């Protein structure tokens, strides 16, 4: 039996990025930067923009992993990566708002239970 390092081929994260993952992330990030620059959103801050750009890179990388085995034109794959990067903000914002709402609902339940459990003084 081969050791784990030899069995996996010793492919590091940097090697995987060089094989196309880095390019996909950059394309997705470029799509997001273009969307941010073209928007008229007054609530956009540097932190929010950075979060959106990083999310776009992650989503584009995930899409590129899914498209590796698909037979389609290279230009069409590149377009898919750019569009997925531009749409990433909607997915990330929805997920954050959903988690916040669930957390606030749980806090409200705990607070309601804590006030109900107290005994009234006579």
Asked if 90 contacts 55 with a C-beta cutoff of 8 angstroms, the reply is: no
Please say if the pLDDT value at position 88 is more than 60.
yes
Say how far apart CA 26 and CA 44 lie, in whole Å: 21
Task: Quick: pLDDT tens for 103-115.
Answer: 999 999 888 877 7
pTM more than 0.95:
no
Task: Quick: pLDDT tens for 19-70.
Answer: 666 777 888 888 888 888 888 888 888 998 898 888 888 888 888 888 888 8
């Amino acid at each position: 039996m081969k050791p784990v390092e030899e069995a996996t081929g010793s492919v590091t994260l940097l090697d995987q990025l060089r094989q196309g993952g880095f390019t996909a992330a950059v394309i997705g990030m470029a799509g997001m930067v273009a969307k941010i620059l073209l928007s008229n959103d007054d609530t956009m801050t540097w932190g929010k923009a950075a979060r959106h750009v990083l999310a776009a890179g992650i989503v584009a990388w995930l899409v590129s992993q899914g498209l590796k085995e698909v037979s389609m034109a290279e230009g069409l794959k590149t377009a898919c990566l750019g569009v997925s990067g531009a749409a990433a903000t909607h997915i990330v914002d929805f997920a954050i708002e959903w988690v916040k709402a669930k957390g606030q609902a749980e806090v409200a339940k705990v607070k309601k239970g804590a006030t109900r459990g107290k005994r009234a003084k006579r």
